[in-house]
Structure 1
Amino acid sequence: MALGPARALGVLSLLAMVGLQVASGLAARPERFTGLIVALLAASAVAFAAGAWGTRRALAAFGAAVLTGYAAEVVGVLTGFPFGEYAYSDVLWPQVGGVPVVVAMAWGGMGLAAYAVAATLFGGWARVCAGAAALTAWDLFLDPQMVRLGLWTWAADDGFYRGIPLSNFAGWLLVSALVMLVVGRVAGDAAPGRGLLAVYTVMAVMETIAFAAVFDPTDPLVAAAGGITMGAFAAPAWRRSWQR
């Protein structure tokens, strides 16, 4: 069956993102690729959401997730709540209120993908909880990678997971739950579609490979922690989607 324009854009954006992730893993300064990778992630997620929900609803859901994530980051930078004490470097730009714009876009893109995973499996409050956990699972990759690239720093580097404090993951669960609520409010009962499942799965696979075999030095612990946790959401979501 032929792809519609939105889904075709989603596939092209996702493939371009994969290509850039490969290039960044081989580059001397991989942080230079971060902004464009996030932009392609967001474009792919919005395109797939548009194919499933319609363009207006997809843009509204993405915008709501972006604003929720951005507000949480601004509060976090200013007060240390809910993630803990941290600060962004000047590598990612532009920044508004001390928060890089691409960080807010990442909340939106992966927020839609994690919502789709949860919505494929559950309804109601179980969907909110599963989506929050699925999005937080991504941070098992994200924080170690971004800290090693110098994109942000923690006030204390003695956290239990690669120097990252437990408060960070508690904060992610809280903010991710809010993201699930606002996305669900916009998406309603519309089916999430398999495109967003692909976005979530591709991120899980690429990050696992990167930490296991590409980054110098490699980090098998992060590869296993992130890969197993994200896989625990992606695998049953795919199984359920094919059963429908």
Structure 2
Amino acid sequence: MVVAQVVSGLHSGDLRLVGAVVVLLAAAALAFAAAARSASRAGAAFGAAFAVGYAAEWAGVRTGLPFGDYRYTDALWPRPGGVPVVVALAWSGMGLAAHAVGRRVAPGSRAARVALGAVALTAWDLFLDPQMTRLGLWVWADPGPYRGVPLGNFAGWLLVSALVVLAIDVLMGAPGGTGADRGSTGLVVLYTVMAVMETIGFAAVFRPPDPLVAAVGGAAMGALALLAWRRRWRR
């Protein structure tokens, strides 16, 4: 996934690499989640996150809710119902990673870990939307102040992220088994790697670079990642 992310930054015109990064992200997240709990629970959680993400995007392109008025271009395929499959896979893969961050920071409270997981997932969109907009993968009807992204989009992301993380939390259940800690740590590593790669990408790799997005997204995702690692270091 890291190699594909680097190559996609160097060859931003090749949109196949975008799909490759998302597929590898989703596969890695699913594998770590299976180690943290079980293959059946991880698969159910992954599928639920996919369904919630797809439903939100399906509603979004038709009604403008909950993200705002936007549409997908013809760049990403397959696109059943007008929603690219890789977009729903992104909700699933990063949903599992963000949930692991929330669980690591607040293991004893479902409300707290869902809230933290939702914030962690929304923080990723501070990178995602500017990147995908500059690549022409979707278009906003009324561009907003954050690199063309309306601020209301992030409120919608927070809402959908909370539903995604809640579904994952319910279906994953309590961690257990010999691989639980390894799998949970792997998901936090996945989240951290994505934060680092996106920050470096916007700061130095993408052309033109975008220091604002690098700083805002890096600070948001980095703060959540540090909270998760700090919790582990204190154990």
Q: Would you call these one fold, judging by a TM-score over 0.5?
A: yes
- Cα distance in structure 1, aligned partners of 2:163 and 2:10: 36
Does 2:129 match 1:143?
yes
- CA offset digits 1:78-117 (Å, max 9, x no partner): 1000000000011100001100000000000000000000
- Cα distance in structure 1, aligned partners of 2:14 and 2:206: 10
Report deviation, 1:218: 0.4
- Cα distance in structure 2, aligned partners of 1:46 and 1:152: 26
- Cα distance in structure 2, aligned partners of 1:204 and 1:36: 18
Q: For residues 117-196 of structure 1, what are the structure 2 equivalents within 5 Å?
A: 117-122=101-106, 123-157=109-143, 159-190=144-175, 193-196=184-187
1:220 maps to 211
Report deviation, 1:36: 1.1
Q: Give the CA RMSD over aligned residues.
A: 1.0
1:11 maps to none
Does 2:66 match 1:82?
yes
Unaligned ranges ≥5, structure 2: none
Candidates 192, 196, 207, aligned match of 1:205? 196
- Cα distance in structure 2, aligned partners of 1:48 and 1:181: 18
Unaligned ranges ≥5, structure 1: 1-16
- CA offset digits 1:101-152 (Å, max 9, x no partner): 0000000000000000000011221111111110000000000000000000
Equivalent pairs, count:
227
- Cα distance in structure 2, aligned partners of 1:32 and 1:94: 12
Report deviation, 1:30: 3.6
- CA offset digits 1:165-205 (Å, max 9, x no partner): 11100000000000011001011121561000011000000
Structure 2 counterpart of 1:91, which letter? A
- Cα distance in structure 1, aligned partners of 2:56 and 2:92: 13
Pick closer, same or farther for the CA change 1:128–1:218 going to 2, 3 Å.
Answer: same
Q: Give SS of 2:139's match.
A: strand
Q: Give SS of 1:87's match.
A: strand
TM-score norm. by structure 2 comes to 0.94
TM-score norm. by structure 1 comes to 0.91
Report deviation, 1:28: 5.3
Contact 2:49-2:168 within 8 A present in 1 as well: yes
- Cα distance in structure 2, aligned partners of 1:150 and 1:61: 30
* Superposed structure 1 runs of 4+ greater than 6 Å apart: none
